[in-house]
Every structure is written in structure tokens, then in C-alpha cells.
A and B are shown apart, each in its own frame.
Chain A
Amino acid sequence: MSINIDENNLKKGLLGLVVALVEIIQDLLEKQALLRIENGSLSEEEVERLGEALFDLQEALEAIKIDNELEDCVYSVREGLDKVVDQVIDKFLNPTRWIEEADKNERNNTGELPISLLNCEHSR
């Protein structure tokens, strides 16, 4: 996993990373908000307030993103994180892949074995 931050533009890279994390939290909050609304535990006024606040947050984030030209940066950080999650889950769901990967590594014999869950099992 690697998150590349352009060292020539540290400010933009760092801001992009922060905005990406805030966006992830925002998405998460939206999902949880929807769950609360669907379960009917909130009053009408509370639902309205919640919706308004989340909308304001989204508007603010969009404005900051556009003003600082962070769209590409945020997009790449988020996609990178999603890919990592996807790979990890894929490995957990398909244990056979571990063996395939281990075999491949042995054949390649690059001397530098990437740490995988299978290797951990062997060393015990």
C-alpha cells in the first residue's frame, strides 16, 4: 500500500489527504444517519436538522475541493484506499489464493518474500 504525496506540492497533497479522510467520515455519517432515519427513532424536526447539517457539510467540502483543485488528489487517495480494502477482503474470502500466491513467490524466488498471511502460518 502506498499513498503518494507529491513532495513539490506538499500543501496540496496533505490537504488532499485530510479532505479524503473527512469525506470518508462524511460518507460513513450519512450511512449511519440514513439508518437512524429508517429505524424511525428520530422526530421530524431532528431529521430535517440532520439533513440540513449533512448537506451544509457536503457543500463546504465541495467548495474547498474546487477552490484548492483537490478533486484529482482526493479521488486518487480514496481509490487507493478502496483498492487496498478490496485486496485484503479478497484474500480473507479466498484462502486458496494464499497458496497460489505463495507458490508464485517460490517460483519467482526473488529473495524478497512479501509478507502474506500464509508465511506467518509457516513460521509458527
Chain B
Amino acid sequence: MIPEREGDSLVELLDRLLNKGLVLNADVLISVGGIPLIGLSLRLLAAGIETMLEYGLFEQFDKDTRAWELEHRINKPVLMSEEEVMLRFYGSYSHNQSKTWNYCFIYLTNRRIFGWNKSINKILYEVSLKNILEITVITNIHEEKEREEICIKTNDDNFLYVHSQNINEIYCKLIKEVHCI
């Protein structure tokens, strides 16, 4: 039997490297005018954690990190009392007419709509549903292509634009929640 080989991909190659582990030793000498000035002795070890653990490396590190995360991990934004998450989606938002679009997970609750950054546990912006005057779906040009965005007008004359994949579902839910208030 002749071994056969299908097309390899970069990911598979890297995966194999990580599973086996990679050791690199390098000595570097930086010299000026033939006089050595700085020496670097580099040692690199790259492998998947499972491989590392097999060789008895990173054991304590792995244990400590997981224990710490178990205690301190924040998975959900802090909600007000009697607040309930109705919809959670990934999308982008823009304030007023600024050109920048910020991406984050956007939460729609029965009280407000807000964008939340998980890694820093911070609410990036929020609009209380009772401050909303008008909600419309508008067609805007983004990256030379037309797309639909939700335009939210608040009672302090500010505009918030929200974009995501399933804009109609978000629009319907948002209208429903605003009417409930």
C-alpha cells in the first residue's frame, strides 16, 4: 500500500506542531564594528497545553489560572432589579453621525438596550427604553453598499444607530419592549 496524502492546510500543520511540541534554541550576538555588545540566549518552547502537561510543564500555571478564573470570572453584565434579558446579539453601534462603528455584544432587556464588553466588564453605552422617542429602520450606505440599520432617537435629541445580521427580529423585539413600558 502506498500512503496517500490529501491537501494539507496550514492549520493542520500548526496543530501537528503544537501536539508534538516545538523547541527552539538560538544564540544571538549583536556587534558593532566587530565588537560584540549585546548577547541574547533565546529558548523557545511551544506546544499545546495538553502536550506541556504530558511533559510535566505548566502544571502549576494551568491549575492556578483555572482556579482564579473559577472565582473571578464574570459571564453576565450586572442587571438592575427586575431586569430581564430579552435578546442578546453581536452587532455594531454608532453614536449620532460619527463614522465609527463599535462592535460588541448588545443586550436588549425590558428596561434598556446596552452594549457590554465582557473582557473589561464595562457597559459601553446604554439607552433606557423609556427615553426612546422614535425607532425606525433606515437604509444607509456602508462600505459602498446599502444596508439596513436601526435608528433610535432619544428624548435628548441624540441618535443611536445599531446594525446586526437579523435586523428585523431585533426591530420587532425592540418595538415590543418599548410598547410594554
Contact = CB atoms under 8 A, between A and B. Distances in A.
Given A32-B18, A67-B163, A41 B50 contact: yes
A63 interface: yes
Interface of chain A, helix or strand or loop or mixed? helix
B14 A69 contact: no
A63 B90 contact: yes
Interface string B34-71: 00000000000000111001000000000000100010
Contact of A32 (B7, B48, B103): B48
A64 B48 CA distance: 28
Nearest to A64: B103
A46 B65 CA distance: 12
A63 B91 contact: yes
Given A24-B10, A81-B10, A93-B5, A67 B92 contact: yes
A60 interface: yes
A72 interface: no
A46 B90 contact: no
B17 to A, nearest CB: 10
Given A27-B11, A60-B103, A32 B5 contact: no
A52 B73 CA distance: 13
B142 interface: yes
B49 A67 contact: no
A66 interface: yes
A63 B164 contact: yes
Nearest to A45: B70
6 contacts: A24-B10, A63-B164, A67-B101, A69-B145, A81-B10, A86-B9
